[in-house]
A and B are shown apart, each in its own frame.
Chain A
Amino acid sequence: TQLLEQSPQFLSIQEGENLTVYCNSSSVFSSLQWYRQEPGEGPVLLVTVVTGGEVKKLKRLTFQFGDARKDSSLHITAAQPGDTGLYLCAGGGAGNNRKLIWGLGTSLAVNP
Chain B
Amino acid sequence: DTGVSQDPRHKITKRGQNVTFRCDPISEHNRLYWYRQTLGQGPEFLTYFQNEAQLEKSRLLSDRFSAERPKGSFSTLEIQRTEQGDSAMYLCASSLAAGFNEKLFFGSGTQLSVL
Contacts and interface: CB of A to CB of B under 8 A. Distances in A.
B100 A42 contact: no
B106 A94 contact: no
A103 interface: yes
Nearest to B35: A102
Given A86-B40, A104-B41, A105-B41, A98 B102 contact: yes
Contacts of A103: 42
B101 interface: yes
B100 A41 contact: no
A60 B24 CA distance: 33
B101 A48 contact: yes
A97 B108 contact: no
Secondary structure type dominating chain B contacts = loop
B48 interface: yes
Interface in A56-111: 86, 88, 90, 92-94, 97-100, 102-105, 107
Interface residues of A, number: 27
B40 A94 contact: no
B26 interface: no
Secondary structure type dominating chain A contacts = loop
B108 A42 contact: yes
B100 A40 contact: no
A97 B55 contact: yes
Interface string B27-43: 00000010000001111
Interface of B: 4, 33, 40-45, 48, 55-56, 91, 93, 97, 99-109, 111
21 contacts: A31-B101, A31-B102, A40-B111, A41-B108, A42-B4, A42-B106, A42-B109, A43-B104, A45-B105, A50-B100, A88-B42, A92-B101, A92-B102, A93-B100, A97-B55, A99-B45, A99-B56, A100-B102, A100-B104, A102-B43, A102-B44
